[in-house]
Amino acid sequence: MALTLGDNFSYLGAKPLDGRIQYSTVAAMAAMADSTLYDGCIAYCSATDKNYQWKSGNSVDPTTGKWRELETGGGGGGGSEATVLTGTLTAAGWSNKSQTATVTGLLATDNGVIGALNTATTAQLEAMRDAVLSVSTVANGAVTFSCEETPSIDIPFGVLIGGGGSGGGSLPTGGTTGQVLTKKSSTDGDADWEDPASGGHTIVNSAGTSMASEDKLKFVGATVTDDSTNGQTVVTVDEDTDKLDSEILYPAFDSTATYAIGDKVTKDGKAYEFTAAHTGAWAAADVDEIDVGEFIEDMTPAEVQAVKDAFTGSLQVPFATTMDVIDFRGTERVVGKVILANGAEKVMYEKSFDVGQLPNAVAKEVTHGISNLDTVIDIFGSYKGGGYFGTMQNVCEHGVATDYSIRIFCDTTNITIKTGSDFSNYTGYVTLRYTKSA
């Protein structure tokens, strides 16, 4: 079923509804008040068997007013831009609040809107509204309606067909399963059904020459192969994200290039910075390896976004982006940097933990697994249970928790959670932000 009810089955105002636009003569159409029409609405005139479109900006034509004949006009199912078919729900035709009305020319596959005709009287419009009509089924030449309140008078209605079936659509007839609609020329409506092109797509370079698979896609740390059997290109991405990140931003080392102090390159999946001017073959003495922290500190927001955009699939970028992420699997992530009072900079890391069931008025220790822990910048936690949620207090001393408090602190090995009463019905989560000594 591809027909829907227009609002004017339950609306009595001048709201623009295509289902009401049908006229017996051009004069009746031109006499319609502008206040009841809207730009772009389409009407069918039975006297001329043509469709017209109304626009407020049109000049007033002596015959059609502001209506203009559609170039694709014509009534019935001959491929016109819009077709209005009519039917009547008779007062005597209802049975168990259901009635099948005849609509000559309608196909079960047609798409369109059912609405009241402009010729409907106030009593008929009110009867439509009170009946609360709905469409049950659509068949060739008929529509079955149901209602909540049985109308006591006849109700005329129109069906505005706008495409989808061969009886009122704008698509060409014919075609077979799997064919596609293809434009034959730039002329409007000049299209037909054709078999889709076979063989997939060939990627070519700027000279128009077909490229080999290894040239088609430049994925750093990835293997690209053609699967001609299934018509696809397979990209296997190296999960060494440190390698991927660095090679996105720094070019690969080139033995024919000349490098100045401070230039950055990648080699064998690692990033390096030149500490001396260099030409020729690779010389480890002329470079320092860039660790992950330093690498991230050098990145601008645009570079961070570039890496994020490059890996929108299953890869996890191992540093903070514009999207805030907390990973309770205990994964260490770089989230920023700390500038000390003396101007020195350190990478700030973050680890989040699911610490499980909270203790009953005792202390619970959870190993954090952080190596070379130097300074804890922040420690915070939350808990939930029994429909309640709360936060834990961080303390700089490992004193005794009192009353209903939950205190958290850590040392170089463990996170400690102390409760002042029984919190064993709750589970907790703790996050550390910190710097490292090495």
| Adjacent-strand bridge partners of 393 | 407
**157 inside domain:** yes
Whether residue 277 is found in the same domain as residue 356 = no
State which of 163, 179, 201 marks the end of a domain.
163
E strand spans, 42-110: 42-45, 50-54, 67-69, 83-89, 98-102
CB 316 within 8 A of CB 303: no
Whether residue 298 is found in the same domain as residue 362 = no
**179 inside domain:** no
**182 inside domain:** no
**CATH number for the domain including 298?**
2.10.10.90
Token couple for 132: 């609360």
User: Which residue matches tokens 């469709």?
Assistant: 51
Which residues of the chain register pLDDT less than 50?
A: 1, 7-20, 72-80, 163-169, 213-220, 239-248, 292-294, 310-323, 396-398
- Closest by CA to 332, choosing from 305, 381, 293, 375, is 293
CB 410 within 8 A of CB 416: yes
pLDDT at 394: 65
CB 241 within 8 A of CB 247: no
Whether residue 91 is found in the same domain as residue 157 = yes
pLDDT at 73: 38
**202 inside domain:** no
Domain count, the chain: 3
**13 inside domain:** yes
Whether residue 286 is found in the same domain as residue 338 = no
pLDDT at 17: 41
Query: Percent of the chain having pLDDT more than 70?
Result: 66
Kindly report the number of other CB atoms within 10 A of residue 67's CB atom: 25
State which of 163, 187, 208 marks the end of a domain.
163
For residue 307, give the H/E element and its range: helix 301-310
pLDDT at 411: 92
CB 134 within 8 A of CB 98: no
**140 inside domain:** yes
What are the tens digits of pLDDT across the range 18-65? Answer: 444 678 889 988 888 888 777 778 888 888 888 888 888 888 898 999
Query: Percent of the chain having pLDDT more than 90?
Result: 18
Query: How far, in Å, CA of 30 to CA of 306, rounded?
Result: 59
Q: List the alpha helices (DSSP H) in 349-391.
A: none
* pTM score, whole prediction: 0.30
What are the tens digits of pLDDT across the range 384-420? Answer: 988 888 888 765 444 555 566 888 989 999 999 988 8
Query: How far, in Å, CA of 279 to CA of 47, rounded?
Result: 88
**192 inside domain:** no
State which of 103, 135, 163 marks the end of a domain.
163
How long a stretch of residues is the chain?
Answer: 438
Enclosing domain of residue 256? 241-303
Whether residue 27 is found in the same domain as residue 150 = yes
Whether residue 26 is found in the same domain as residue 137 = yes
Whether residue 288 is found in the same domain as residue 363 = no
Whether residue 383 is found in the same domain as residue 278 = no
What are the tens digits of pLDDT across the range 411-430? Answer: 999 999 988 888 899 999 99
